[in-house]
Amino acid sequence: MQGYQYVLIGFAIGLVLTIFVLFWQVSKRRRAISEANAKVEKLKTMLNDRMDLESSGLSGLKVELEKLRKENENLRISLNSLAQKPGRKEVQRLQVYQDAVDRLMISSPGFGAAWQTSLKEAEAELEKSYLGALPFIRRVIPQKSSAPVIDLAEEDNK
């Protein structure tokens, strides 16, 4: 029986070593799994934070883009309304007349004196229109000019 005892003792020692190594490997594996899970959670939180930042940045850009579109539309409408304002075409017409008068003054020697006389008469008549009931009526009911208005859009198309 002596031989069997040594075999059983050897078997018991081997079994204890095997169980020890098994527990050591299992604990090592659990540590590796827990470290991997911790890394996964860390990466998830980083990804979530980045997605939140990009989402807020993108929504901010969308809001700014919409604001700029509205501002652009308002500016376009303002520009069109300023171009259509009463008096704008008349001012352009006056500029054309001024250019024509300047050219006539240079090219026609007798035109300057006649022009100055008619200009002074028109200014005197305008001064008279500021006194009495006539100016009040003219302010309330504006006079229409019989002169044709230059349409710059048509001239640009030609």
Tell me, yes or no, whether 77 lies in a domain. no
The residue type of 97 is Y
Instruction: Please check the confidence at residue 104 and state whether its pLDDT lies above 60.
Output: yes
Q: What is the pLDDT of residues 29-66, one digit of tens each?
A: 999 999 999 999 999 999 999 999 999 889 999 999 99
Tell me, yes or no, whether 72 lies in a domain. no
Tell me, yes or no, whether 73 lies in a domain. no
Instruction: Please check the confidence at residue 135 and state whether its pLDDT lies above 80.
Output: no
How many domains does the structure of the chain reveal?
A: 1
Average the pLDDT over each of 2-6, 50-54, 145-149 and give the range with the smallest value: 145-149
The residue type of 40 is V
**95-122: average pLDDT:** 75
**125-131: average pLDDT:** 66
CA distance 35 to 135: 94
Q: In terms of residue numbers, what domain contains 98? A: 89-140
Return the H-helix or E-strand segment holding 46: helix 2-83
Where is pLDDT greater, at 145 or 114?
Answer: 114
Instruction: Please check the confidence at residue 21 and state whether its pLDDT lies above 80.
Output: yes
Tell me, yes or no, whether 103 lies in a domain. yes
Query: Token digits for 132?
Result: 């009495």
Question: How confident is residue 138, by pLDDT bands cut at 50, 70 and 90?
Answer: low
Q: What is the percent of the chain with per-residue pLDDT over 70, rounded to a whole number?
A: 75
**97-116: average pLDDT:** 74
The residue type of 68 is L
Tell me, yes or no, whether 106 lies in a domain. yes
Query: Token digits for 92?
Result: 């352009």
User: Which pLDDT belongs to residue 129?
Assistant: 62
